[in-house]
Chains A and B, each alone.
Chain A
Amino acid sequence: MTGISTSGWMVETTNLRKSYGKVVALEGLSVQIPRAAVGLLGANGAGKSTLIKLLLGLQSPVSGDASVLGFNVRSDPLRMREHVGYMPESDSLPLDVTAADFVGHMAEISGLPSRAARLRAAETLYQCGVDEERYRLMREFSTGMKQRVKLAQAIVHDPDLVFLDEPTNGMDPAGRDDMLRLISRIHNDLGITVILSSHLLEDVELVCDYVVMLENGRLAMTGPLTSLVQGEGDVVVQVDGDVDRFIQGLRAKGLEARRRDRDILLAYRDDSVFDVVRDLSIDLNVLLRGLRRDTRTLEDVYLQRMSEQPENEAADVHAD
């Protein structure tokens, strides 16, 4: 493909504003998103779907500007859309058509020649876990199968970037796990950059390595997942044998230690605590099974952020 900006930001918005009547969906959103598996997080109504629709050119902003892969979404939407795929949140499949016919048709609408479109459709559906069923009418499909077909049509033309809007919506736990594995594969194995919108923190945590969090149409925080969740955590120690005796040993060495089930939580001071633990395990002849920093979950970060931010100020946790 040609014309894509390979340097700079994958998505960039400047003072993006969108309202529906009196309801403001996005309020002056300025964000720069690097090439990564990006999780677009926020509660229902935070503005995630609106942002995706604006970036795709499906809707027009009241004010502000945006670019995707270096293409301005207002002035160059068609060229931009050659390089992106979209899996909408809502049901969006014609039910009286087979999956193979529809995905092939969508490939043609993306400009692929007819024969190549048919082959790509079969191949992509197979990759998405729809094999022989592709010849059945989609009215016979379960929710999970429909979601897979929606994903297949989003990547059938081999886009550089795919927007996935709540891809696990309505799926049972097993189907949800399958879908998340599939999305991870699309990013990691097929090299297609993913922007995953979800209100489910675990989904984002499993798939993404960069997070953009929206709250009431504003940017709440943005940054790499690792920088958001790391730091501030305790050290987790796992030992075989007498846990309480080990805790007493740690306390004797001046460390704050407490028990959590079979784990020992140790207040992190500096990296010397790791040496203390190692030496103590040798002294007490205890097998050290695990020694790591305890990380916060994205949920911890989210809840902390929500409790800290009564006003709608944006916090750039980490700017690349």
Chain B
Amino acid sequence: MSTPIEQNLSGGALGQPEAEIYDRGYRHYDGPREGRRHAIQALIVYSIKRGLGIKKRWTAKIIPILIYAFAFFPVLIIIGIRAFVGNAAGGGLNYLTLYSAISVIMVVFAAATAPEMLCDDRRQRVLPLYFSRTISRGDYLLAKIGGLGILMGTVALLPAFILFLGSTFLAKSPVSYFFNHIADLLRITAAGTLLAFLFASIGLLIAGFTERKSIAAAVYIGAVLLVAGFAGALFNAINAGWHRYFVLADLISVSDGLTSWIFGIPLDQGRMAAKANLNGAWYLLTVAVVVVACAAVMYRQYLREE
């Protein structure tokens, strides 16, 4: 490859930025090749950028910005108010209520972002270019799940971490608060990661079956609402003991049950997950089954030859 003839101009007294002059004649590349792992990382980064609308038209950035605004502002505002008027303000905000709100935001985020990651590659027939390189179809899916999982993780984890930090610094004794509540950091990580991959995997599964982003987004939100509606109706209509398991079909209730179990905070009695009163392990199992099933179906879908 062409070796850059680098001229460092920054040594001068004026402190100009570094400049580089390149010989643009083609030469063979004899530098390092970092292999499959690097390729997967590169695809994760590229997917995240596309999901956030980076280097795309401004319209592609609107939804990510709004999502982040909805996810972060309530926490920041309540912590700000508490800083001025004391911890009594916004007393209803705890990790459970935070995740109840965030799980709804995550549904919208996954609906908007998962199609961005998969649909264009299919519609614009980019997949043969990927699959003719050093990554396998499984690697491609792994990178997409990883990319969306990381993006969803920022929404699932950061607001809760901010709440933790805010609570720590606003406590009378921040040091003792931190050490008394350090387990919350693990709980946040566990809950946030599980929810991120739950919503991401369903979003990617749906996006893997269509080339149209708008259809994928509509189907995702529609499916979540429809299934939740059916599950709620059956839950209320049937009273046979086993009817409690219908709650596992409602993603928001799964999120409620899981976070309630992880943080040890009881749910409001009006919530379906509270009425179902299932052991938290059922919600954990549901998340694991959904993520694995979605990955398996997607893998099968992508094994189909281009």
Contacts and interface: CB of A to CB of B under 8 A. Distances in A.
B172 interface: no
Contacts of A114: 42
A123 B3 CA distance: 11
B63 to A, nearest CB: 15
Interface string B160-191: 00000000000000000000000000000000
B73 interface: no
Contacts of A93: 124, 126
Contact of B28 (A60, A84, A96, A191): A191
Interface in A112-131: 112-114, 116-117, 119-120, 122-124, 126-127
* Interface size of A as a range: 35 or more
Interface string B23-46: 010101101111110110011001
Interface stretch (A6-14, A102-110, A215-223, A308-316): A102-110
Given A110-B39, A111-B36, A158 B134 contact: no
Nearest to A106: B129
A78 B36 contact: yes
Interface in B116-171: 120-121, 124-126, 128-136
B130 A126 contact: no
Nearest to A189: B26
The interface residues of chain B, by DSSP majority, are classed as loop
A59 B129 CA distance: 13
Interface string A152-168: 01000110000000000
A33 B128 CA distance: 24
A127 B26 contact: yes
A106 B133 CA distance: 9
A280 B17 CA distance: 76
Interface string A274-295: 0000000000000000000000
A110 B134 contact: yes
Contacts of A82: 33, 134
A111 B35 contact: yes
A269 B1 CA distance: 53
Contact of B26 (A56, A95, A110, A190): A190
A111 B31 CA distance: 11
Given A105-B42, A158-B1, A112 B33 contact: yes
B1 A78 contact: no
Given A78-B134, A96-B120, 20 more contacts: A77-B136, A78-B135, A81-B132, A81-B134, A82-B134, A88-B128, A94-B120, A94-B124, A108-B46, A109-B135, A112-B32, A112-B33, A113-B32, A116-B31, A119-B1, A119-B4, A123-B22, A124-B26, A157-B133, A191-B28
Interface of B: 1-2, 4, 22, 24, 26, 28-29, 31-36, 38-39, 42-43, 46, 55-57, 60, 120-121, 124-126, 128-136, 305-306
By Cβ-Cβ distance, the 8 closest A-B pairs, closest first, are A108-B42, A158-B29, A86-B132, A111-B33, A92-B125, A59-B305, A127-B26, A109-B39
12 contacts: A57-B132, A59-B305, A82-B134, A105-B46, A109-B43, A110-B39, A111-B35, A116-B32, A119-B1, A122-B24, A158-B1, A190-B28
Interface of A: 53, 56-60, 77-78, 81-82, 84-86, 88, 90-98, 101, 105-106, 108-114, 116-117, 119-120, 122-124, 126-127, 153, 157-158, 189-191
